[in-house]
Amino acid sequence: MKIIVNIFGLEIDPISLVTSAAAIVLAIRNFLVMRKGADIYPHEIITYGIVKNTAENPTHNHLYIPLIFHNEGIKPGMITKIEILFDNEGEIKPLQILAKVELNDIGQQAARMNIGDFIQKGYTVKIPLYPINIPAGESTDIVLQCYQRIEDNIFPLDKEVMCIIRINYGRNKTREVRFPFLLTSEDYEETRFLKWYRPRAGNLKELYPH
């Protein structure tokens, strides 16, 4: 038996009304989702490599930083800029990003490589750096070669600072992640050869010991 109700002088089937309303709500939801496009998130650094230049009194060092980005959107997206920053009590300093690289399979040799060895054998530069394409619903990982002059003191030794990974993507969209970072002077002294560390305070250890 079909039920008809009178609303403001109109005879309406309530079941059809509910079905139509649900369809409208679903259509609006789908429209909003489609407008969302790419939705890219940077992840915290899990590990990083660091090595000093080989001079008797090193003036700079290189860092090799694997990064992971995830696109939670339903459309592919492109990262157009990456910043790696260190926040020391409100004073923010950036690492200089030199290139996107692909690490070569050198295994335990890495623990005995100085900067010259690693530049020659440790990786291949991938050109261009930008844009970085990330398919919808997928993750992309890259490795960045970074540079810092020691005198700039971007991340002071023996002091926990905040590391910031900030990205620009899409049409003027920005997203960042922050996490604690600590490098001890004792560990830093070992970086005449390439060393791999974890960034989190209290969990700093070599991944590839001698």
Confidence of residue 203 (pLDDT cuts 50, 70, 90): very low
Rounded to whole angstroms, how far apart are CA atoms 45 and 178?
10
Three-state SS for 7?
A: strand
Average pLDDT of the segment spanning 157-168? 95
Task: Name which of 194, 202, 201 is nearest 51 in CA terms.
Answer: 194
Backbone CA torsion sign across 92, 69, 52, 180? positive
Given a contact cutoff of 8 angstroms between Cβ atoms, the answer to whether 41 and 73 are in contact is no
pTM for this predicted structure: 0.77
Q: For 49-75, how does the pLDDT look when each residue is reduced to its tens digit (9 = 90+)?
A: 999 887 777 888 999 999 999 999 999
Average per-residue pLDDT for the chain:
82
pLDDT for position 209: 37
What pLDDT, on the 0 to 100 scale, is given for residue 2?
Answer: 54
Which residues pair with residue 195 across a beta bridge?
50
Q: What is the pLDDT of residue 79?
A: 97
Give the mean model confidence (pLDDT) for residues 87-94: 96
- Rounded Cα distance between 144 and 103, Å, is 10
C-alpha dist (Å) from residue 64 to 14, 98, 100, 120: 64, 10, 9, 14
User: 165 or 204: whose pLDDT is higher?
Assistant: 165
- Mean pLDDT, residues 146-168: 93
Residue 204 CA to residue 174 CA, distance in Å, equals 29
Pairing of strands 60-71, 40-42: antiparallel
Mean pLDDT of 127-137: 94
Across the range 24-33, mean pLDDT stands at 50
Q: Which helix (H) or strand (E) holds 176?
A: strand 173-181
Mean pLDDT of 82-106: 95
Percent of the chain with pLDDT over 70: 77
